[in-house]
């Protein structure tokens, strides 16, 4: 119980910024040092000389003594709120259905203590895991039912997050037949298409070492799914790693991005970005590793036509997309153009 209570207190501090020291009913320290100045009182007691406010709370039916720094009216109001937070923490999350509980964890709406309760209640293994963000047509219930069929253990779980978007939490076992998170996501996409006729797009979050960080993995997966739509990325499976450059650029103020774009674009280069055919041709060329033959096949375009377009891009922008460094610069320009 002591470890769980300490997790609750960390959650309280993360949410409020207030550090709470806790003692047993007879004054033995649980979290904090020393002994409290008072143990014989009811409700709330303040000690202006020591600058402390003391209050009682119930945690899993056990009476605990708490203290916070400060002894004014504000701290007294805090004491009422903190007592309620501590008392409710042991029961609030446990009353949620499993899917809703996991959904809140993925969306970052649960404290570390709540996450620990989920882990204990559902016997979550101490294994690395990752989250997928799945966008699919059809009925969400059908999608969840199919995804659940591919849970390899009791801890793997699929939940509806919002509308047609679902999440799948997958634990990584040494005996798994899938080479990577993206490999598993590709398998799910094929299964949804073959069994439900549903075309799905999946964002893949990074693998985290412990379940406590699964919310981070889901946020990455959701970001990958969002950016794949914004940048019209080809394919149905997209990892967060693919868009790390974009995420880094999103953290830069838009005014600064505009400044960088102005440096990279000269003369008629900006007008070229309005020509969808030219931009799509360039992006397909980049997607095909600067391979002219492969790009021609995929675009159903004569090789000479493709060469003409690449030459035109070079004349207007000064960038020869056949050179790797110029191709990288062009890719950066298209990203900046969309962000700005």
Q: Residue 39: is it exposed, middle or buried by C-beta count within 10 angstroms (0-12/13-18/19+)?
A: middle
DSSP string, 202-215: EEEPPPBSSGGGHH
pLDDT at 264: 84
- Phi, psi angle pair for 203, to nearest 5°: -100, 135
pLDDT at 338: 82
pLDDT at 94: 56
Interval 280-294: pLDDT, tens: 898 888 888 899 999
Tokens of 23: 């003692």
pLDDT at 106: 93
Interval 118-164: pLDDT, tens: 888 898 999 999 999 999 877 788 889 999 998 888 889 999 998 78
CA-based R_g, the chain, Å = 27
Name which residue leads in pLDDT, 67 or 243.
67
- The reported pTM is 0.65
What separation in angstroms does the CA of 243 have from each of 45, 186, 287? 54, 18, 14
Interval 201-219: pLDDT, tens: 999 999 999 999 999 999 9
Query: Is residue 177 scored above 90 in pLDDT?
Result: no
Interval 47-103: pLDDT, tens: 998 899 999 988 877 789 999 999 999 999 999 888 888 877 655 555 778 998 999
Please state at what angle helix 324-339 crosses helix 254-264, rounded to 10 degrees: 140
Nearest to 166 by CA among 193, 185, 187, 147: 147
pLDDT at 63: 86
Give bridge partners of residue 157 from the DSSP assignment: 169
pLDDT at 127: 92
**Would you place residue 234 in the very low, low, confident or very high pLDDT band (cuts 50, 70, 90)?**
confident
What contacts 24+ positions apart, CB below 8 Å, involve 187-192? 187/150, 188/132, 188/134, 188/147, 188/150, 189/236, 189/237, 191/146, 191/150, 192/136, 192/143, 192/146
Rounded percentage of the chain residues whose pLDDT exceeds 90:
38
The mean pLDDT of 247-252, rounded to a whole number, is 84
Find out whether 36 and 67 touch, Cβ atoms under 8 Å. yes
pLDDT at 320: 93
Interval 5-31: pLDDT, tens: 787 788 788 778 899 999 988 888 888
Residue ranges and CATH numbers for the domains of the chain are 2-91 (3.30.450), 98-246 (3.30.70.270), 252-339 (1.10.10.2840)
């Amino acid at each position: 119980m002591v470890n769980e209570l300490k997790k609750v207190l960390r959650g309280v501090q993360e949410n409020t910024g207030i550090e709470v020291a806790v003692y047993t009913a007879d004054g033995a320290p649980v979290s904090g040092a020393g002994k409290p100045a008072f143990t014989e009182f009811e409700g709330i007691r303040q000690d202006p000389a020591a600058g402390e406010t003391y209050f009682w709370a119930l945690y899993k039916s056990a009476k605990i003594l708490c203290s916070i720094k400060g002894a004014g009216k504000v701290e007294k109001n805090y004491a009422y709120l903190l007592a309620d937070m501590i008392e409710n923490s042991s029961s609030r999350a446990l009353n949620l259905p499993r899917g809703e509980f996991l959904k809140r964890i993925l969306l970052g709406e649960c404290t570390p203590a709540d996450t620990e309760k989920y882990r204990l209640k559902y016997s979550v293994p101490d294994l690395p895991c990752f989250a997928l963000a799945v966008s699919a047509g059809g009925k969400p219930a059908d999608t969840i039912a199919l995804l659940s069929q591919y849970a390899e253990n009791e801890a793997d779980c699929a939940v509806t997050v919002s509308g047609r978007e679902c999440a799948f939490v997958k634990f990584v076992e040494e005996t798994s037949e899938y080479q990577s998170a993206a490999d598993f996501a590709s398998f799910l996409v094929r299964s949804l298409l073959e069994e439900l006729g549903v075309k799905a797009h999946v964002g893949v979050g990074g693998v985290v070492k412990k379940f406590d960080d699964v919310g981070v993995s889901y946020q990455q997966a959701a970001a990958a799914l969002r950016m794949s739509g914004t940048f019209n990325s080809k394919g149905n499976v997209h990892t967060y790693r693919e868009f790390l450059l974009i995420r880094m650029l999103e953290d830069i103020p838009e005014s600064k991005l505009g400044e960088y774009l102005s440096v990279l674009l000269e003369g008629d280069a900006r007008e070229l970005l309005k020509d969808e055919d030219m931009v799509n041709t360039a992006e397909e060329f980049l997607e095909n590793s600067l391979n002219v033959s492969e790009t021609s096949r995929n675009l159903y375009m004569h090789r000479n036509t493709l060469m003409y377009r690449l030459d035109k891009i070079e004349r207007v922008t000064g960038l020869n997309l056949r050179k790797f460094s110029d191709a990288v610069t062009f890719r950066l320009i298209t990203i900046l153009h969309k962000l700005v």
